[in-house]
Amino acid sequence: MLELRNLTRAYELGGERAGVFAVSLQVPKGCLAVLAGPSGSGKTTLLQLAGLLDTPDEGEVLLDGVAVSSLPERTRCDLRLRRLGFVFQALNLVPVLSALENVMLPLQLQGVAEAEARRRAEAALDRVGLADRRHHHPGQLSGGQQQRAAIARALAPDPLLVLADEPTASLDHAHGGPLMDLMAELAQERGVTFLVASHDPSVISRAHRVFRLADGRLVEAP
Ligand SMILES: Nc1ncnc2c1ncn2[C@@H]1O[C@H](COP(=O)(O)OP(=O)(O)O)[C@@H](O)[C@H]1O
Ligand SMILES: [Mg+2]
């Protein structure tokens, strides 16, 4: 379970105040939540706070009831590696590595032995429908296949929480829906919490919960 408690992260730019302000929300285990809102509404800022890539000015991020945003950077870094998964808009994968090597990478960084990392990465690629593409490099995969490989990589370490920032933005319309269907299935099947930032209607329509932001504030929550 992810809880954001009264999070504020303000940027001052030429007298203008931007960022996110006093945002509180909860996403249970196995839930695919979408942060919706127009460009500049604070979606990426909030994902970076939830992903422990940035620290709030005020408030706390709690993972399974534990306040994690105020932990020392070393501990937060370890949590990012072991308990969080990240999927970005595009260019998720290391271009010189195969799909399999990309998925093995976070496991090996955690110290998982090579044979075990390979076994888990193959299972993750199989689950996202890429078993027969595992030796391809990212440049030899379609945009949708690259995003599915990125999802396999995020899930292979068995995270509590996966954060995805506009994961369908680099895909054409027909591929965004199936990618979200896959995330929704995986959220339930693995009991993983997903927080996805997007303004794509095909993403929002597949969410279990939708949180809407406008000008850095939560304006609609379930
Ligand atoms: N590093 C930064 N420095 C200054 N302003 C920023 C920074 N990051 C984001 N902002 C501002 O914060 C607001 C929210 O941005 P962002 O979280 O990227 O929105 P979204 O992802 O919804 O498009 C915007 O007004 C943006 O210009
Ligand atoms: Mg953004």
Instruction: Note the pLDDT tens digit of each residue in 63-81.
Output: 999 999 999 999 999 999 9
Report residue 16's pLDDT band, with 50, 70 and 90 as the boundaries.
confident
How far is Cα 20 from Cα 220, in angstroms, rounded to an integer? 14
pLDDT higher than threshold 90 for residue 38: yes
Ligand 1 pocket residue status of 18, Cβ below 6 Å: yes
Calculate the CA 116 to chain-centre distance. Answer: 24
Atom of ligand 1 nearest to the CA of 39: 23
How many A from CA of 37 to the centre of ligand 2?
10
Closest ligand 1 atom to 165 CA = 21
Q: Which atom of ligand 1 has the smallest separation from the CA of 35?
A: 22
Residue 9 and residue 38: Cα distance in Å, rounded? 18
The pTM score is 0.94
Nearest-CA residue for ligand 1 atom 14 is: 42
40 CA from centroid of ligand 1 (Å): 6
So what's the pLDDT on residue 192? 96
Q: Ligand 1 pocket, 85 CB below 6 A?
A: no
Mean local confidence (pLDDT), 77-96: 92
12 lines ligand 1 (CB under 6 A): no
Q: 2-220 belongs to which homologous superfamily?
A: P-loop containing nucleotide triphosphate hydrolases (3.40.50.300)
**What atom in ligand 1 is closest to the CA of residue 38?**
22
Q: Where are the domains of the chain?
A: 2-220
Nearest CA residue ID for atom 27, ligand 1: 40
Q: Indicate if the pLDDT at residue 60 is higher than 90.
A: yes
Q: Which positions ≥6 away from 146 have C-beta within 8 Å?
A: 90, 92, 93, 138
Which candidate, 55, 20, 26, places its Cα nearest to that of 40? 20
- pLDDT-based confidence at residue 123 (cuts at 50, 70, 90): very high
Give pLDDT tens digits for 173-211. Answer: 888 899 999 999 999 999 999 999 999 999 999 999 999
Is residue 1 over pLDDT 90?
Answer: yes
